[in-house]
Structure 1
Amino acid sequence: MKTILMDYTQKDKQTAEKITYDLERKGVRVWNDEFDIKLGDNIFEKKKESIKCCHYILILLSDQSNRTTEYYTAITKAKKDIVILLIDNCNIPNILKEYPIIDLQEEYDDGLSNVLAHLKNKLESKKNQTEKEVTVSSVDLKSVTLKNPILKSMQTVSIEQFFNEFSNGKELEKYKKALLSIFEFAKMREAAYLLFGGSFAVEKDSPSNVTCVIVFRHQSDIPRDHGRFFLQETTIDVYFATIEDQNTLSTHQQLLSMASNNQGAGVIKIDITNISMDQLQRIDHNISDNSTSLIDLYQPRGVLVTLHGLLSRAKWNTELAPIVSSQGWIFAPYVYKSCVDLLFREQKRKRAVDEFRSWIFDIQMRYKGVPISVIAHSFGTYIIASYLAGFDEDIPVQFQSVILTGSIVHTNYDWKTKYEQSKIIRVRNEIAKNDSWVKRMPDGIIRLSKKFGQSGVKGFAQNCDILTQHNNKIFDHNNVIKRDVVEQIWLPYLNANSNLDFLE
């Protein structure tokens, strides 16, 4: 569900935390809005800044609520969906009486169910909202064949064009049956469209890697199982994304648009909403019997989340994706808006962690029961460390393994306690003495946060069973995430930990 802001006074903090926890257990992500108001701060400006990122506001009202009419006026002017939650028999300000009011005083569970039902109805009413994408016109497939220059943008084609002209040639003929199976699978699951990249969008006679993203409309539509299509020595990797989650979808589109040499390549889009099964059967009739396919729907080994650093587009994701997916991992790169200000401004750092909190909870709800591991680089290490430290005991999302590289987390970070609190099972820290970026972090920056440090070059001071640290003279800040390290070191480490259980 969309981001929900919980508005309350500090005197109602305990009740707000209970409601937040109960809603998140039901799959609703809630942002607890706690302000660090300092002398001279304008409370209205603070509120205006915080509600920009939310879609719905839950206002907690009690006898202890001491908000002014001006305060509530500032909230209502934001034109967000507002719900009033009563936790005792108090007066309701006139300006809030026009909004839905849900009583949580006596029948708490019934009241919570009403909150969930109201939010669900609001979301349902927006299901047919037009997707926010740049429209591209169809293209003559004669300009898209593999023997012509690399595409430079996303091109929309019909399914007939895709099969009749794009997939021509002896080397491509064998793929057609597998491609048709993907389309049939997507159609049965009511997907919106498909994206193809890799060898299907670059100048290459004999494809060696094929990547497809099946795009659904809503998070709830995504199948739990993942799929692969095997053709002799070639694997077609199939990923899932949704129109609702534009950040993840944009990341997939970026990965598809990168050729193996990191040069820009095109992405092919096929809309299947108006395709009938009869059309697919006609295509099947025209496909040679020499074209074979085998689909393997499997329970994934785990979800692998990647967190990039500052001023980075994480191009290494393009190399990481096919490697980890080939070994049964669901690849889930997290992309945030990075800038140098994140180092200096506490509020921006807090927002980055809050946004990750919402995103990772969605990942967990999408792949229920599938363990989550993380590869974090540079500022990404700060994000995962801050998330883990943000919950005293119970945590919405647990992590099986975390790999840190270029870590800027403080050397005194307490990993042992995180394990004892069942937040994490294993941690691997890559120590690179030649990491000049971490080595030269000014003391002025390190003092800005208790979590900042130089564990990427000094290692963590704590000695505990869950933490392994490895020194390397070749690594620097940017050259660690390479194929040799991923295939020979990190994936064996992640695979070995995939069956471990959290501490009871």
Structure 2
Amino acid sequence: MIPSLNNRGKLPIGIHNCSGEDVIYRYCNTEIRKRFQKPITDLLNFAFKTNAEYLFIGGSFITNELDPNDIDCLIVYNENKQIPNNKEEVLIGGMHIDLMFASLENRSIIDAYLHLFSHNRFSEEVGVLQIDLLKENKIWKLKPPGKEKYEVIKSAYIDRHILNVRECKGVLVTIHGLLSSGQWNKEIAPIASSEGWIIAPYIYVGNTPSLLINKRRRSKIVNEFREWICDLGKRYKIQKLFQ
């Protein structure tokens, strides 16, 4: 259950346990804020899929701001080895999301992040949401982080790069021709990726004119391409592949 906001438009001090449905109902209930529904849903699905233990949300999203500009999130796993290695592979539709990871093996880091989340840019203490992923209703007991650890986390957070995770439009597959290695991909890739496409150049060897008369070799390339593009679709869970 999410408590009412105080007279400053912030959550009361402390960590407040709630469900994902509570978050959507409370914070995605206006015409402007409807755009947050998919990012929150995708975020919850990602946390479940990767077996996260905790999910914390802070920032302007959980205030009374009419059009908040970001969502601050901390996903906590049981072990360090569960933490995703590459943020760019986390596809969460339609929003700028500051996504941080930690594990229960380093509780002081979790405390440092939560201490950061619980203080706004004016050093005012505010509330933080904890999504009840495991339905166990265990609220995180926040301990004051060590000064050195907190300063490291704070510095990393301030200097962070905001991850622009937009909904992927699809996969753009490019195939070079004979006597070519697809050097033109370097011109296409920045343009297409900036528009939300995954770029997937297919490079094959033996691209000489003799390929036209070598039926066996042509068949091998076609079969390899078929396997590659099917694997591509499964990997990115995209129904349509654009060529």
Q: Normalising by structure 2, report the TM-score.
A: 0.54
Question: Structure 1: any 5+ residue segments left out of the alignment?
Answer: 1-138, 276-306, 329-504
Calculate the aligned-residue CA RMSD, in Å.
3.2
Give the one of 53, 66, 69 matched to 1:192. Answer: 53
Q: Is the aligned partner of 1:248 residue 2:109? A: yes
> Is the contact between residue 192 and residue 273 of structure 1 (CA under 8 Å) also seen in structure 2?
yes
Aligned in 2, Cα 1:228/1:324: closer, same or farther, shift over 3 Å?
farther
Deviation (angstroms), 1:255: 1.5
Corresponding residue to 2:27 among 159, 166, 173: 166
Alignment of 1:202 onto 2:63: yes
1:176–1:145 distance in 2 versus 1, CA, 3 Å = farther
Whether 2:154 is the aligned partner of 1:317: answer: yes
Q: Does 1:152 align with 2:39?
A: no
8 Å CA contact retained: 1:146, 1:200 = no
Q: Residues 159 and 270 of structure 1 are in contact (CA less than 8 Å); yes or no, is this contact kept in structure 2? A: yes
| Structure whose CA Rg is larger | 1
Q: Aligned residue pairs: how many?
A: 153
For residue 326 of structure 1, what is the aligned residue in structure 2?
A: 162
In the other structure, the counterpart of 2:130 is 269
Percent sequence identity over matched residues? 20
Secondary structure at the counterpart of residue 174 of structure 1:
helix
Deviations 1:371-418 (A, max 9, x none): xxxxxxxxxxxxxxxxxxxxxxxxxxxxxxxxxxxxxxxxxxxxxxxx
Letter in 2 for 1:314: E
Gaps of 5+ in 2: 137-145, 165-243
2:42 corresponds in structure 1 to 181
Residue of 97, 109, 124 corresponding to 1:236: 97
CA contact (8 A) 1:154 1:266 kept: yes
Distance in 2, matches of 1:172 and 1:145, equals: 20
Q: Which amino acid aligns with 2:151?
A: A
Counterparts of residues 322-471 of structure 1 (less than 5 Å): 323-326=159-162
Q: Which runs of 4+ in 1 moved over 6 A?
A: none
Q: SS where residue 32 of structure 2 aligns?
A: helix
Give per-residue Cα distances to partners, 1:148-200, cap 9 Å, x unaligned: 44431110012221212233222321011011111111111111121000112
State the Cα deviation string for residues 99-155 of structure 1 (Å, max 9, x = none): xxxxxxxxxxxxxxxxxxxxxxxxxxxxxxxxxxxxxxxx3x361499844431110
Judged with a 3 Å threshold, the aligned counterparts in structure 2 of structure 1 residues 265 and 154 are, in CA distance, closer, same or farther, namely same
The answer as to whether partners of 1:197 and 1:267 remain within 8 angstroms in 2 is yes
- Structure 1 pair 218–230 and aligned structure 2 pair: CA distance change class (3 A): same
For residue 35 of structure 2, what is the amino acid of its counterpart? K
CA distance in 1, matches of 2:160, 2:18: 30
